[in-house]
Amino acid sequence: MKQIYVLLLLVGFGFTQALAQEKIDYQMINRIKQEGLKNSQIEMIASYLTDVSGPRLTNSPGLKSAEDWAVKTLTSWGLTNSKLEAWGEFGKGWRVDKSYVAMTSPYYMPFIAIPKAWTGSTNGAVSGEVILLKVEKEEDLDQYKGKLTGKIVLFPSSYDASSTFEADGNRYTDEELKELEKYPTGGAPSRYTPELIAQYRARRALQNKISEFLISENAAVIISGKNGRHGTFFTSNGAPYQKDATVAGAEFEMATEHTNLMERILEKGIPVKLEAEIKTTFFEDDLQGYNVIAEIQGTDKKLKEEVVMLGGHLDSWHAGTGATDNAAGCAVMMEAVRILKATGYQPKRTIRIALWTGEEQGIYGSRNYVKNHFGDSETMNLKSDHSKLSAYYNIDNGTGRIRGVYLQENEAARPIFNDWFNALSDIIETPTISVRNTGGTDHLAFDGVSIPGFQFIQDDIEYNTRTHHSNMDVYERLEMDDLKQMATVIAAIVYHTAERTEMMPRKPLKKVENSTR
């Protein structure tokens, strides 16, 4: 009798487990694979977003070109409600019209550099001596008063450009993926201690004083070295872009090897002369920021009002063409919806793609979209559509293929992804599900109001060594087979999310003190 009871328990447990498993449509997965891996349009999409549109700094003509092309292309594929949707005021657009800098003495050498974002122009072509500006406190500026008019000012470099013996490109090892699967124990010490925050604010205040001083002293142009090696350098947040901001002085960001070269010559008491020209244009007619939005309409009478979202940020920095950051993510998401349309699929839930802007300056496009449509993460005052969004899927970690997903501590989603990944095990090597949070991009806006928002684990390739925010973030750094895999995986995940009986499980709503909810 006891054996029969145990057997019944095991049968019941197995039945419950079977009910808990995701319904996998293998025929649809096969159609998605056929379209995504054999008929891919990813190369065309990526080339239009990078080569044709060029750099896509927020509110720049390059971004506008990419936005218009994306809306037109999504419409041509049969998506509906394709549009640019304003998310709020951003500020001035900006473009480089001319950029040239070379050393002319003690010998001629062209330098690798780009004007810093949102800085002004030189007064035509300029030439002059280089002055190495060594300032550790505001009082140090006194020694330079009256000495900088028409001069080219060089900030000392603190970056290491020496050789490295580690490969630029890499993929996750099995051991590294296993480590990601482990539940993080204890809290990692914050990088942002009160002391570090105070130091950062002090440095920023000093930098503002230096900038004001250089403008008042009529320095011809400013040069600052950037982190990087072998002619690759990583750009930064640039100058103020708000509508009332004072235009910053003309400034180059330059490869460390070339700033170091000038420093070494100057330290020997030998004068250095440069010739340079920067010509930039500001655009102030429309200060609004825009997201690209398009949909595949749901068809189920009960579920079509519910939504599955996918997206990536369309804006980039300007030293390259923003290929891995983040034309890759946008191309993948556009290709994913193209794949679904090409199969003739008619989803139960509405599928909505979003290509965000303002991400590089503060995740503005997605944060404002969530605030406008779903709720305010600061107050947790939620809108009616908050209950209708099943999940948001994001790509923004470069060109590397998908190896798994970060759950953002949403453990209830683990068995769902486990079933989905198992069904794709022939194109996802060592599928990895990590409970950990990952940050820095647009899924955070959704996670902030307890909507399931997921970022995927991707192979790094050269993202952190060569391409992220760099002058080498160009089309050639894209791994096309990886992008095809990513688009195919995303299409399958979006498909199953749209077809599920239930929406994706959610974490508890965040508690906010003094909330008016």
* Tokens read off for 477: 């750094």
Give the integer Cα–Cα distance in Å for 230 and 324: 19
Indicate if 295 and 425 belong to the same structural domain: yes
Look at residues 281, 301, 324 and tell me which one is the last residue of a structural domain: 281
Cα dihedral 168, 172, 174, 176 sign: positive
CATH of residue 217's domain is 3.50.30.30
Domain assignment present for 225: yes
User: What tokens appear for 516 in the block?
Assistant: 């008016």
Domain termination site, one of 252, 281, 310: 281
Residues 305 and 416 in one domain: yes
- Do residue 118 and residue 85 come from a single domain? no
- Residues 77-103 pLDDT 10s: 999 999 999 999 999 999 999 999 999
At a CB cut-off of 8 Å and minimum separation 6, what does 302 contact? none
Q: Is residue 250 part of a domain?
A: yes
- The pLDDT value recorded for residue 16 is 39
Domain presence at residue 83: yes
Residue 507 lies inside a defined structural domain of this protein: no
Please give the C-alpha separations between residue 267 and each of 21, 55, 432, in angstroms, as whole numbers: 69, 36, 52
Residue 517 has pLDDT above 50, yes or no: no
Contact 62, 53 (CB under 8 A): yes
307 and 413 together in one domain: yes
User: Is 2 inside any structural domain?
Assistant: no
CB-CB contact of 314 with 67 (8 Å): yes
Does 263 share its domain with 375? Answer: no
Q: How distant, in Å, are the alpha carbons of 113, 136, 217, 231, 306 from that of 142?
A: 29, 12, 11, 34, 63
pLDDT tier, 332 (very low <50, low <70, confident <90, very high otherwise) = very high
Q: β-strands 93-105, 273-283: how paired?
A: antiparallel
Range of the domain at 181: 94-281
What is the count of structural domains for the chain?
2
Give residue 312's pLDDT band: very low, low, confident or very high (50, 70, 90): very high
In this structure, the strands spanning 389-394 and 350-356 are unpaired
Look at residue 241 and tell me if it is in a domain: yes
Same domain, yes or no, for 78 and 99? no
Task: Identify whether residues 493 and 366 lie together within a single domain.
Answer: yes
Tell me the per-residue pLDDT of 130-179, one tens digit each, with 9 for 90 and over.
999 999 999 999 999 999 999 999 999 888 899 999 999 999 999 999 99
**Quick check: helix, strand or coil at residue 243?**
coil
Q: What is the pLDDT of residues 222-241, one digit of tens each?
A: 999 999 999 999 997 789 99
Instruction: Pick left, alpha or beta for residue 253 (phi over 0 → left; psi -120 to 50 → alpha; otherwise beta).
Output: beta
Q: In this structure, are 345 and 363 located in the same domain?
A: yes
**334 inside domain:** yes
Peptide bond into 194 cis (omega under 30): no
> Which pLDDT score is estimated for 186?
63
Same domain flag for 138 and 183:
yes
- Verify that 294 and 217 share a domain, yes or no: no
Q: What are the tens digits of pLDDT across the range 358-414?
A: 999 999 999 999 999 999 999 999 999 999 999 999 999 999 999 999 999 999 999
Classify burial at 435, counting beta carbons within 10 Å of its beta carbon; exposed 0-12, middle 13-18, buried 19 or more: middle
Binned at pLDDT 50, 70 and 90, residue 208 comes out as confident
Residue 20 has pLDDT above 70, yes or no: no
Q: Is there a contact between 424 and 495 (Cβ–Cβ < 8 Å)?
A: no
Q: Domain check: are 141 and 267 in the same one?
A: yes
Structure confidence at residue 189 as a pLDDT band (50, 70, 90):
low
What band does 484 get if pLDDT is binned at 50, 70 and 90?
very high
pLDDT digits (tens, 9 = 90+) for 257-271: 999 999 999 999 999
- Name the domain boundary from 266, 281, 296: 281
Tell me the one-letter amino acid at 386. Answer: H
**Whether the predicted pLDDT of 14 surpasses 60:** no
Is the residue at 3 inside a domain? Answer: no
Are 299 and 406 in the same domain?
A: yes
- What is the residue-averaged pLDDT of the chain? 93
pLDDT of residue 117: 97
CATH number at residue 434: 3.40.630.10
DSSP letter (8 states) at residue 184: P
Burial string for 104-122 (b: 16+ CB within 10 Å, else e) reads eeeeeeebbbbbbbbbbbb
